[in-house]
Amino acid sequence: MRPFRIGYVAAAAVTVYGAVTSRERLQWLAKPLLMPLLAVDLATSGAHVSQPDRALLIGSLGAAAVGDVLLIDPDDDRRLIGGASFFALMQLGYAALWRRRGARARAEIALPRAAAWLGAAGLLRSRAPRLAVPLAVYGATLGTAAVLASDPDLAPEAKTVAGLNIPGSDPRSRLGLGALLFTVSDGLIVLRRLFARGDRTRRVTEGVILITYAAAQYLLIDARVHASRPDAVTGRQ
């Protein structure tokens, strides 16, 4: 594993610990490091990434970094809306990346995600109408990027089950799992906001949200996934 990715895992662990134990200072120390560590790993990995792809990646990571800071306090609705806005920019960047890689939407992948999006939007409209529009807009960008990332054609040699690639040695085969984890993480944000009441429940749920989020970004932002040369994609971490 490359050193800056080790640093990313360590920063993510501290962030999760800070959230679960209500130590916000730890989150302020560690969470803002997550996306910069992935950006530095991207720059130092040795994989050849084209300039347009590199610009999209750095821009997406920059937007995510701002969103990370805003969501250190997930119980402030204004910060939640602001964070969703920056993460929407990130998801649009990711969607553009997958499209450049040749990904296309498949009905068998898109339809379940569309149904989940409609369900979440309906819940928000009935229980938190102030959040319904901004989070539904974000959900649309998330769904678009996730559907494209889940296209099996992105890793044509990987094994596929139910239209999704099974993660293997080819980093591109892990994109579908990364997209799924991102969807789970953001779905839990909605459920936490609407249904979690006790302090312990909210803290534990926030920990799970952060774990799935950090794992998703780890899988999606790997320089080998975006390498311009096919021979730069395979290999061990």
| pLDDT on residue 237 | 46
pLDDT confidence bin for 225, thresholds 50/70/90: confident
| pLDDT on residue 216 | 97
For the segment 68-85, the average pLDDT, to the nearest whole number, is 94
| pLDDT on residue 194 | 92
pLDDT higher at 60 or 233: 60
Residue in 135, 108, 132, 137 with CA at minimum distance from that of residue 122: 132
Report the distance separating Cα 212 and Cα 176, nearest Å: 13
| pLDDT on residue 229 | 53
Q: In this model, does residue 232 exceed pLDDT 50?
A: no
Q: In this model, does residue 234 exceed pLDDT 50?
A: no
| Structural tokens at position 83 | 């964070």
Every domain of the chain and the residues it spans:
3-232
For the segment 167-173, the average pLDDT, to the nearest whole number, is 88
Packing angle, helices 199-220 and 3-20, rounded to 10: 170
Supply φ then ψ for residue 160, to 5 degrees: -125, 135
List, for residues 9-35, the tens digit of each pLDDT value: 999 999 999 999 999 999 999 999 999
| Structural tokens at position 200 | 């312990």
For the segment 53-80, the average pLDDT, to the nearest whole number, is 94
